[in-house]
Amino acid sequence: ADADAPPATESNALRTPIVAVLGHVDHGKTTLLDKIRGSAVSEGEAGAITQHIGATAVPLETVSQMAGSLVKPEDFDLPGLLFIDTPGHHSFSTLRSRGGALADIAIVVVDVNDGFQPQTLEALDILKRTGTPFVVAANKIDTTPGWNPQDGSPIQGSYESQSDSARGRLDENLYEIIGNLSDEGFSADLYWRVQNFQKNVGVVPLSAMTGEGIPDLLAVLMGLSQRYMKEEMEIDISGPGAGTVLEVKEERGFGATVDVVLYDGSVREDDTIVVGGVNGPIVTEVRALLQPRPNAEIRTEKRFDKVDEVRAAAGIKIAAPDLDDAMAGAPIRVVRDRSEEDVIDDVTSELAEIEVDTADEGVVVKADTLGSLEAMANALKEAEVPILRAEVGDIAPRDVAVASTAREMEHKVILGFNVDVLPNAEDELDTSDVRLFEDDVIYQLIEEYEGFVDERQRAQQETVLDKIIRPCRFRILEDHVFRQSGPAVVGVEVLSGTLKNNTNVAKWEGSKPTRVGQLSGIQEQGEDVSEVRAGNRVSIAIDGPTVGRQIDEGDELWTELPEKHAKILEQELSDEIPADELEALTGYLDKHRQRDPFWGK
C-alpha cells in the first residue's frame, strides 16, 4: 500500500481475484500454498510477493515468471492473485461477502492416489452452494510409481518425459477423479481439454512437492479470472472499503484487533468503520492499519508495519477501540462519505441473513465464526436436529446453563465446532448432566452426536422392553397333565415368543379372551427356570384353573398382554423383538381386532 492518496481519476481499477484452497486433510493444501509462495520468492526480485495479514498477494509479473510461456503478462489486465493463507473449507465457509463466498475462485486439492474423501465431498458441496468457480488440483503426481520428476515444469512436458507405465498409472487415477466429479454433478476434464470453464471443471495434474504442473494451475487461475470474472473485479478502489473479518485477536500494544480480508474499496487510517459484533454492529474508528513486517525483520520487536491506506483485494489487521465483541466471519464496512445509519443498516441486515433458526427445544451450538455457525446450522437442519441456541464464541458457563434447560436428555447437549471450553465452563460441565461434543470437522461432529442419540434410544428401548409384558403362544401337550389344579401342572410346547414366569395366562373362547390364571412356575428338565424360548417343551404350574374345566389338553394358550403394552410393542418396538415374538404379537392383535378393530391402536 502506498502512502500517497491516488488521483481521483485513477479510482476505477481491477482488483486481484481472491483464491482459496480446499480439500481433504493431508491432500497437500498447505504444501501447495507454501510452494507457490516459495517459488514466487525464489523467482527473485523484491516485490515478488506481498505478505498480507491472512493472505499472500502474487503480482501478475511474478505469476508470469513462474508460469513461463503459459502466462504472458500482456494478455492480462488483472493485477495478479491473492491467495488466502489458511487452507481448508473451514476458513472458506467463514469467508463470505454479501451473502456469497468471499473467495472468487477456489482450488480443490485431491491426492491422486487417495482420490475423493469425505472432506473433498464437503468442499464440493460448499462450492456448489456458493456457486464458486473452481479448479481441481490432482496433487502428488510425483508419487506415481516410476515417476521421473521434472521440477517446476509445465505438466505437458513433464508428462511426455514419463515412461508409458507411469503415464498409464497416472491416467487411471486422473480418470477416477474425473469420474468422481461427474458423480457429484460436475462435468470435468483435464484442463487442456476444457473449452468452456464456466460449464466444465478443469483438472490440473500437479505436484505441490516438485512444482511440476504449478505453472498450469496458475495459468488456469489467471485465465479463468480474466475471462469470466473481470467485471466483478472492477471496483472503485478509493471508495469506502468492504470486507470480512477473518479473526478477532488480542495484540500487544493494540488491544483487540480484527484481521480482515478487504474485497472492495479501501480503508484509511482514521476512517469510521462498522463491524458485525456478537451484540450487533460496532461503530468505531480505525487507530492503525497493520501489515506483517517482511520476513527478514520478523525477529525485531515490532511485528507489524503501519500503513495509511489499503486497497482491495488485501488482508489487513485493523486496530480500533471496542473490537472485543467483533465476530469472525462478520462484515466490516467503511463509512467515509456515506451516512453512518445506512452503513449500520447494511451490516445489520447482513448479520440477520446469517441468523440461525432456533426452536424452544433443542441443542446448543457454538462455533468459531459466523460462517461455520451457519454451516453447522445447515447440517443440523438436514439431520433434523433442532437448535435451542446458536452463537459464535467459546463455550461459557452460560451455555451449559442454557443447555441444561432442554427437556429431553438428547438435547441437553452442546455441539462445539472449532471452539475452546472456558475454564469455568469445564467445572459447570462436570457437575451438570449436559454433554459436550467437539470436533473441527462438521460431518464428524454431527456423526458423533447422532451416534450418541442412537445409543441412547437403543438403551431406552431396552429398558422399556424389560418392563413390558411380551407376547407368547404355547400349547398344552396331550398326556402331559401332572396335576389337575391348585396349581394345575401341565407340559407345554412354546410355539412363538418367550414364556415368562409370573405372567397372566389367557385363552380364547370364541372371539373373547379370558384370563385362566397366573403362571407360578416353569420347570425345564426338572430345573426351575424363569423363562423359556419358542421351540422348547417345559412343564408349567398355573394358579387358578382346573384341567378339564377352564383348560384342557391340546389347548392353545397366550400370555395376556395389557392393551397399552401391545400398542407400544407394535408401534415402537416391533423392530427390536425377534421374528417369532412378532408373529405371536400379530396373532394376538389379530384375534383382538376381530372383535374390536381399534384394539391396541
The answer to whether the beta carbons of residues 347 and 327 sit under 8 Å apart is: no
Binding ligand GDP (rule: CB under 6 A), the pick from 119, 144, 158, 207 is 207
Centroid of chain to Cα 531: 48
Least Å distance, CB 89 to ligand GDP, is: 11
Distance of CA 358 to the CA centre of its chain: 18
Site for ligand GDP in 15-44 (CB under 6 A): 23, 25-31
**Between 107 and 375, whose beta carbon lies closer to ligand GDP?**
107
What span, in angstroms and rounded, lies between the C-alpha atoms of 383 and 93?
Answer: 19
Phi and psi torsions of 586, nearest 5°: -60, -45
Minimum distance of ligand GDP from residue 113's CB (angstroms): 10
- In the complex with ligand GDP, the residue whose CB is nearer, 211 or 371, is 211
Of 120 and 266, nearer to ligand GDP (C-beta) is 120
Site stretch for ligand GDP (CB under 6 A), options 130-138, 156-164, 201-209, 333-341:
201-209
CA–CA separation, 599 and 164 (whole Å): 75
Please state, in angstroms and rounded to a whole number, the distance separating the CA atoms of residues 440 and 258.
Answer: 22
87 near ligand GDP, judged by CB under 6 A: yes
CB of 341 to ligand GDP, least distance (A): 44
Residue with Cβ nearer ligand GDP (209 or 402): 209
Q: Which of 27, 470 has the CB closer to ligand GDP? A: 27
- If the CB atoms of residues 104 and 142 are measured against ligand GDP, the closer one turns out to be 142
Q: How far is the CB of 267 from ligand GDP (least distance, A)?
A: 30
**For residues 16 and 207, which CB has a smaller minimum distance to ligand GDP in the complex?**
207
Size of the site for ligand GDP (CB under 6 A): 16
Cβ at position 132, least distance to ligand GDP in Å: 18
At closest approach, how far in Å is the CB of 74 from ligand GDP? 31
What DSSP string runs through 139-187?
E-GGGSTT----TT--HHHHHHTS-HHHHHHHHHHHHHHHHHHHHTT--
**CB closer to ligand GDP out of 144 and 496:** 144
What number of helices (H) and strands (E) belong to the chain? 15, 34
Alpha-carbon distance of 218 to 209, in angstroms, equals 16
How far apart are CB 140 and ligand GDP at their closest, in Å?
4
Residues 138-177 that bind ligand GDP (CB under 6 A): 139-140, 142-143
Per the CB < 8 A criterion, the answer to whether 174 and 138 are in contact is: yes
Main-chain phi, psi angles of 565, to 5 degrees: -65, -40
Binding flag, residue 54, ligand GDP (CB under 6 A): no
Q: Give the Cα separation of 279 and 287 in Å (integer).
A: 22
Q: Could you tell me which residues come within 8 angstroms of residue 598 by beta carbon, excluding any fewer than 6 positions away?
A: none
Q: How far apart are CB 112 and ligand GDP at their closest, in Å?
A: 9
Please select the residue that binds ligand GDP; options are 106, 188, 208, 403, rule is CB under 6 A.
208
Q: Which is nearer to ligand GDP, 208 or 343 (CB)?
A: 208
Alpha-carbon span 102 to 5, nearest angstrom: 26
Measured in whole angstroms, the distance separating CA 81 from the mean position of its chain's CA atoms is: 28
Grid look-up 483485494 returns 313
Q: Which listed residue (13, 41, 166, 209) binds ligand GDP by CB under 6 A?
A: 209
CB of 154 to ligand GDP, least distance (A): 16
- Within residues 462-491, the interface with ligand GDP by CB under 6 A covers none
87-98 in b/e form (b: 16+ CB < 10 A) is bbbbbbbbbbbe
Is the CB of 208 or the CB of 245 nearer to ligand GDP?
Answer: 208
Q: Kindly indicate which of the ranges 204-212, 310-318, 528-536, 585-593 contains the residues binding ligand GDP, using the contact rule CB under 6 A.
A: 204-212
Nearest distance, CB of residue 207 and ligand GDP, angstroms: 4
Nearer to ligand GDP, 108 or 290 (CB): 108
| Residue 94 C-beta: closest distance to ligand GDP, Å | 17
Q: Which residues contact 541 (CB under 8 A, 6 or more apart)?
A: 483, 487, 488, 489, 519, 520, 521, 522
Nearer to ligand GDP, 23 or 331 (CB): 23
User: How big is the chain by its Cα radius of gyration, in Å?
Assistant: 35
Q: What's the angle, vertex CA 60, arms to CA 59 and CA 64, rounded to 5?
A: 120
For the sheet containing 18-23, what is the strand order?
A: 50-51, 55-59, 80-84, 18-23, 105-111, 134-139, 201-205, 188-190
Rule CB under 6 A: say whether 211 interacts with ligand GDP.
Answer: no
In angstroms, rounded to a whole number, what is the distance separating the alpha carbons of residues 308 and 290?
Answer: 9
Nearest distance from C-beta of residue 33 to ligand GDP, angstroms: 8
By Cβ distance, which residue is nearest to ligand GDP?
Answer: 28
Q: Write out the residues near ligand GDP by the rule CB under 6 A.
A: 23, 25-31, 87, 139-140, 142-143, 207-209
